[in-house]
């Protein structure tokens, strides 16, 4: 199945809700895209990971990771499928707060190493805050990594792409809000 065929199968499984919502950015919205419920469905997660792997081929990262909770399921699926494809990517998860005991880490997973190429995974990009927080924590943890881009399920078209580009980051998404409006 090619990317377009996978997108057509995935599209109706993306939770696009209408109503009155407050987003993580604090913005009010009349729609909400729930990436977590989408990526916790077996076929939707499978398709999302397979499409992401196609996108990642062009940038050849060593590692994939992102801010917990929105990226967790996708990171797990991408790392598992990458192993099956013979191009294994190690994963990592960025905490929203540092670990309160033990090592006090912000990042969980194998240690980031200088020169590694890192892809940031995200479910839904609104203003880009979550992805940029992940980028910041990764750079604090290991300043010599190369961030190859941010890869997301959906871009809400609310300024996140522009913020990432201003930071020199590429944003690659499976869908934009306009492709999902029902």
Quick one: three-class SS letters along the chain?
CCHHHHHHHHHHHCEEEEEEEECCCCCEEEEEEEHHHHHCCHHHHHHHHHHHHHHHHCCCCCEEEEECCCCHHHHHHHHHHHHHCCCCCEEEEECCCCCCCCCCCCEECCCCCCCCEEEEEEEEECCCHHHHHHHHHHHHHCCCCEEEEEEEEEECCCCHHHHHHHCCCCEEEEEEHHHHCC
The pLDDT of residue 168: 97
The pLDDT of residue 99: 75
Architecture of domain 3-180: 3-Layer(aba) Sandwich (3.40)
pTM: 0.96
- For the chain, residues with pLDDT lower than 70 are 182
């Amino acid at each position: 199945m090619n990317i377009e065929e996978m997108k057509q199968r995935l599209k109706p499984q993306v939770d696009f809700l209408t109503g009155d919502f407050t987003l993580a950015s604090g913005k009010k919205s009349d729609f909400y895209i729930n990436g977590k419920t989408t990526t916790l469905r077996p076929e939707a997660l499978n398709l999302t990971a397979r499409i992401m792997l196609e996108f990642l081929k062009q940038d050849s990262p060593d590692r994939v990771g992102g801010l917990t909770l929105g990226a967790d399921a996708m990171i797990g699926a991408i790392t598992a499928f990458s192993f099956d494809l013979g191009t294994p990517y190690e994963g990592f998860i960025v905490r929203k707060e540092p670990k309160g005991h033990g090592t006090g880490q912000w990042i969980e997973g194998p240690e980031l190493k200088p020169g590694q190429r890192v892809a940031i995974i995200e479910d839904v990009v609104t203003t880009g805050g979550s992805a940029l927080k992940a980028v910041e924590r990764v750079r604090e943890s290991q300043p010599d990594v190369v961030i190859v881009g941010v890869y997301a399920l959906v871009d809400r078209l609310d300024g996140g792409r522009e913020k990432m580009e201003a930071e020199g980051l590429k944003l690659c998404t499976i869908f934009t809000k306009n492709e999902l409006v029902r």
